[in-house]
Structure 1
Amino acid sequence: MNKNSTDIKKVFESFILDFVKKDKQDRVFQFLKKEKNWWKITNEFHSSTLFDKSVLKDIKPNEQYSEPIYNELIKLGAETECYSLLDYLENNEYECDLSEKLSDSVGFLVETIIYCPKSGIGYYEGGHAKDRYILKKNNKRN
């Protein structure tokens, strides 16, 4: 697992730059620097307030299930092999199959960030039923 730890950390840093509001990025980066503070990142992602609203794509209420979400992510260009960023922080297996991870995550109200870095697409679920979004990177970044 350690051989990729630098790569996954870079993926996580890119995720923060692409998806988290500019004024909240430094705080998350500070937590990411020290492994003992990683749990604080999961707490920060309990709700979607950290995200730049322009990267959040609403999911229709009748489509908040793993299969329609998977289909939408694939339609947007997501790869089937992705990373579960919060699993990485908990020292769990973080390389995942998109379909399997969605099946294990959607609707459980457990903070989840599944990210496909090549396409800049992912899925977020917070600790509240209304906090489920498809994440799509903005192509224009300042």
Structure 2
Amino acid sequence: MALYRLIYVSQAIAGLEYRDLIEILQKSEFNNRRAGVTGMLSFGDSMFLQVLEGSRRAICETYNRILLDPRHTHAELIDFSEIDHRDFAIWSMKVLQLSNQEEVRNIILKYSHTETFSPISMTGLQSLNFLREITELYHKGAMDQ
């Protein structure tokens, strides 16, 4: 079976709260585990950046379901490509809320033109590398949760 990766960005609706992120995580973990999808969702400055990995069909079905979620708008596909391996295989879904920590802001500055998290301006490779670096920071225990 071929593996695929999809990366997209979207804008959170006004008033999105932490409990909304928890609900997104819980539903995503359940649905993705059943579908064989792995990935990670980052959230900061009212923007979502998400990566999904799995079969083409599972990724497309998951993304179509995500597009219907009223908690975000203006979804834009950044990348959809065939991959050799999963980078986020340990998570059926993980939500990382980006903070104002210096380490997090340094990674944001590396990939953005401003201190504001703006994944809309990132290329597919920049988005993937950003998500990899944020994940690495999380695994080192250097990121607030």
**TMscore range, shorter length:** under 0.3
More helix by share: 1
Q: Which has the higher contact order (CA 8 A, sep 6+)?
A: 2
More strand by share: 2
Superposition TM-score, scaled by structure 2 size: 0.27
Superposition TM-score, scaled by structure 1 size: 0.28
